[in-house]
Structures are given as C-alpha cells and as structure tokens.
Amino acid sequence: MGRRLEGIDVHVHIHDERARRLRGEEAQRRFEERARYFKREATGLPVAEQAEQYRARRMMAVLMNGTDETITGIPPIPNDFVAETVAEHPDVFLGFGIVDPWQGELARREIRRIAELGLHGVGEFNPARQHFYPNDRRFYPLWEEAEQLGLPVLFHSGYAAAGSGRPGGRGVKLKYTQPLHLDDVAADFPDLKIISAHPSWPWTAESLAIARHKANFYIDLSGWAPKYFPAELVQQINSLLQDKALFGSDAPSLPVDRWLKEFADLDLKEEVRRKVMVDNARRVFGLDEQGRPAGA
C-alpha cells in the first residue's frame, strides 16, 4: 500500500455472483433470506469492486468463507477462489479458507492445503449451521493442524442470522455457538489464535471473560451495528480488552460505512480506537504498518 493503514476489517464475506453460482440454487435462496434479515438488496458485489472500496479507504479486508455441506449438501465457495482473489489484490485482501469439520482426515489435509494456498487462517466455522461443538475431541486434530501451521481460526459465536425467523430456524441450532465451548479449545491449544466472531449475544459476557482469561483468544466486533453494542462490551473494549478486540464489519451484509460511522460515535479512547481498527489485527496476522508480512 505504501501508506499508513486506517483499518483491517477482519470479517468480510464474498458476494461475487461468480462464486455464488458455484454453490447452486439453494445457496442463492438462502443468500436472499439473509439479505432480507439484514434489510438490504440481495445483489452481488464483484470482488474487484470490493477491493477498490477498501483500497479507497486505505484499509485491508480479511475474506471469510463458510460451509455446512455435511448438514445441507450445499457446496462452499472453493478455497481456490478465495486464494485467487487474494493473489489478484494482495495490497487489500487477506483470506481465510474453510473446511467442513465432519470430513475428518480430509478436512485436516485441507487445512494444510489452505496454508499452501497462501491463505492466512481457517474460518468462518459456524457451529450452529455445522452442528458441532468445537470442544468435541473428535475435532481436535483440526485445531492441532491449524496450531502447528500458525493459522488463526475464526468461529461464529452467539445468535445466527442464518435461518432467523424461518420455520425451525432452517435447522440452525444456537446451542453450538455458546462461546464457553471455545474456552476448552483455547486452553488445550495455547498457541492457536482463536477469534470469536460477533458480540456473542446472548452470551456476550462469556466471550469477554474468555478473552480476558486466555491470551490466545480474541473477539471481533462484526455483524452488529455498533450503536447496539451492550454497554458492558464497550466498557471492556475501552479498558481490559483493548488489546483483544478486532474491527470486523460482516460486510457486505452490514455495510462497512455504517459500521465505521457508528463505531466513531462510541465513547472510546483514541488510542483504543487505533488498536481496534488496526494494531490488534496487525499483531494477530503478523503484519507491518503497511499491511505486509512483518520482515518481508
């Protein structure tokens, strides 16, 4: 970039129509449902345009993927598509690959391939959609592989937009996204960087407690408009957890401009804002002030 970074959005999704077409009609229908939940148009956004939006803001963005193929039969956006997008826009994008935890050894090998593709982490795991507890020891080989490779992992936590308001919530089960299940993982894999996505409602206090207790556990602030952040969350970010909170929008579902405007209205110390917007993510991903790998 050659200039000072103003932000690293650690939670951005791909809505490029080319990628969505790879997932089939059912994925498109669910995409439209989530668009209605977030009160936005169900329109695509080319990754090149998405890159330019962040480039104009002097920001970087971490592209997230997701899969619940074992549960729904819907294929994910291929990790190769994410890697190709990052390679086309390395000044703006970092990327996470994803695996289906129920695929066992295949999933473990795919984590290794994610590293070979040059991606920067694994996620977004969504236990509510994938129907698994992260602290189930059947999945520990996945966390061990990510830890050995130095890849951060990101988990959806708390309430789920997917299936919200639909009959049976479309089978999405919120019990799996209670943050406390991640405490075991953080304890048992102390060198694994874990990012708990979203303010974790209705278990916000749990994620705050884990972030305070476990040095390798971080929270991202995506998926919620900051004007609705609980007072406890804002107070903790502004004090004890100022080194553990990460700017994340969940764009394009939650427009990044709205997130930034409302975050600017929060009563936070200026030095804390810089940490949340840039410095904490730089430390997690090992980047210098221009967003390049440190030492490159």
Any domain includes 1: no
Per-residue pLDDT of the chain (296 residues; tens, 9 = 90+): 456 899 999 999 998 877 666 665 665 566 666 656 666 665 678 999 999 999 999 999 999 999 999 999 888 899 999 999 999 999 999 999 999 999 999 999 999 999 999 999 999 999 999 999 999 999 999 999 999 999 999 999 999 988 888 899 989 999 999 999 999 999 999 999 999 999 999 999 999 999 999 999 999 999 999 999 999 999 999 999 999 999 999 999 899 999 999 999 999 999 999 999 999 999 999 998 888 887 65
117: which 2 tokens? 């593709």
21 vs 109: CA distance, rounded Å = 26
Instruction: Please indicate, yes or no, if residue 146 is contained in any of the structural domains.
Output: yes
Q: Alpha-carbon distance 255 to 38, whole Å?
A: 10
Q: What is the CATH number of the domain that holds 121?
A: 3.20.20.140
What's the domain range around 155?
7-285
Phi and psi based region of residue 250 (left: phi greater than 0; alpha: psi -120 to 50; beta: remaining): left
Q: How many domains does the chain have?
A: 1
| Identity at 141, one-letter amino acid code | P
Is there a domain that residue 2 lies in?
A: no
In whole angstroms, give the CA distance from residue 142 to residue 107: 7
- Cβ distance 98 to 142 under 8 Å? no
State the pTM of this model.
0.93
